[in-house]
Structure 1
């Protein structure tokens, strides 16, 4: 029995969660932000069956900023996120993470390993697992069968989970099943599931859709607190929420950047006004024809 115990302990040490084997480690995960820009999107084009989803799109995001992307449905917001995270390949252009990582020649897993995390609009938590277990499963560890079976959390990892629980406001719910959380709490948990892997850039898609006013306010506080140490890009349709968090807003239209600036500058931009008034007019005509 002693020999078996020693063997198990040896395996646990070999496969411990904080252990990164040299041949599995990324060759270079350091992000060069000497020019204070963490994301370069330059002259990106993407068409789907003749439809220009992205059209000579140029976007630059500074390291540590919180940027909001707005625009009507079909403006290219989700497609842009798909390209940044490697889910979709663009037709032409360049996308760099810092000055040294070309994202267009990397797969989704490689991009995530570099420190780019994405949260989709609908929460995708493990509802039959506890809040704590959801965060544990999201740690950046070897997910192979053997390492998963025999590994155990280190004190550093437990501290990391505790820190994230405090950040997302769910410390008092750590042993609650995720399925019992409110919609807003599930959104916060999913943000926490990104945070435990310590990403450098967070892409957040419509975080306050379906939330109560109180949850929306708490989400604004959460995302604002994350900026600085991390870079946060938020796609959102709720303009009051955007106003509450954004210093810089980028408006996309037909796959290109239409305008960029503070929320006040955007709301007074004549091009933005004309585009949105034109869309509202078309919707009114469509409703009139169908009535």
Structure 2
């Protein structure tokens, strides 16, 4: 048993997770964050606050810093300056990517990263957090609690009837929902979702909007998206990034008539549709 615990420590599955203190109502703090690449300032004194249980949409033109912002939150990129906290006490800048995932921050990239040769159920089992995930790799037997968790996630993402199907033959939208389900198996407090409806049919977009709205409250959800119709359907609060900093925040109907926002983003051809 001691050897197994040592192995778990080595891969970060046995390390205790510090509880997240969001008693002030804010789950994620970015304060005066800056980062440059080869002289280009991708993020410029960015300050952003995400409430506990909030669903926030982030919009902005290409190069506004949206991807870099998510890279900083998840530990892929370290900023040159500033503070990034998860709750009141967890300094994300002191943690690496695996540690940040363990404490409850999940990220979904634009392109689905499901394991296509495996079934939907097997993908969810492998995504199960901590030692449960390791046990799933070693045995095909699941506890009743684990089966219940997988069943609840399957229902949440609308794939209850597809558990035995290979992930590779799912429709595009279904793969996106499966990946969200895989994140939910890891019990994240914060989900970062990058352009979830790119390439989706209108029906898939509507189902995705329902899914993301259903997650708010139990989770904080940050969605980066270009499709303004989709943004309007899910978010009360929208943040516009431009040149690595917050240009404006508010309801989408307010931002649509903001002259500065129109000039730098909403008036930029196909950005607004």
Q: TM-score, normalised by structure 1?
A: 0.86
Match of 2:36 in 1: 47
Tell me, yes or no, if structure 1 residue 118 matches structure 2 residue 95: no
Distance 1:256 1:124, change over 3 A: same
Among 172, 179, 192, the residue aligned to 2:161? 172
Unaligned runs of 5+ in 1: 1-10, 281-291
In structure 2, stretches of 5+ residues that fail to align are none
Aligned pair partner of 2:90 in 74, 82, 101? 101
Q: Once the 2 structures are TM-superposed, how far is the Cα of residue 142 of structure 1 from its aligned partner?
A: 3.2
Map of 2:138 onto structure 1: 149
Please name the residue that 2:242 is paired with: 253
Could you say which residue in structure 2 is the equivalent of 1:223?
212
Q: Does 1:274 align with 2:263?
A: yes
Q: CA deviation at 1:276?
A: 2.9
Are 2:194 and 1:205 equivalent residues in the alignment? yes
The match for 2:148 is: 159
Match of 1:61 among 29, 35, 50: 50
Cα-to-partner distance string for 1:2-47 (whole Å, 9 max, x where unaligned): xxxxxxxxx8xx97xxxx98x9644442111111000000000000
Number of matched pairs: 264
Per the TM alignment, residue 278 of structure 1 is displaced from its structure 2 partner at its CA by: 7.3
For the residues of structure 2 that align with 1:105 and 1:178, how far apart are their CA atoms?
A: 36
C-alpha separation between the residues in 1 aligned to 2:132 and 2:155?
26
| Cα deviation, residue 197, structure 1 | 1.1
After TM superposition, which residue ranges in structure 1, 4 or more long, deviate above 6 angstroms?
Answer: 143-147
Whole-angstrom CA distance in 1 between matches of 2:69 and 2:109: 13
Q: How many Å apart are 1:148 and its aligned residue?
A: 3.3
Greater mean alpha carbon deviation, residues 25-34 or residues 262-271: 25-34
On the 8 A contact 1:68/1:250 being kept in 2, the answer is yes
The 3 A distance-change label for structure 1 pair 150 and 167 is closer
Contact 1:135 1:196 in 2 (8 A): yes
Conserved 8 A contact 1:142-1:148: no
Inter-partner Cα distance in structure 1 for 2:133 and 2:177:
27
> Computing the radius of gyration over CA atoms, which structure comes out larger, 1 or 2?
1
Distance, in Å, in 1 between the alignment partners of 2:173 and 2:204 is 6
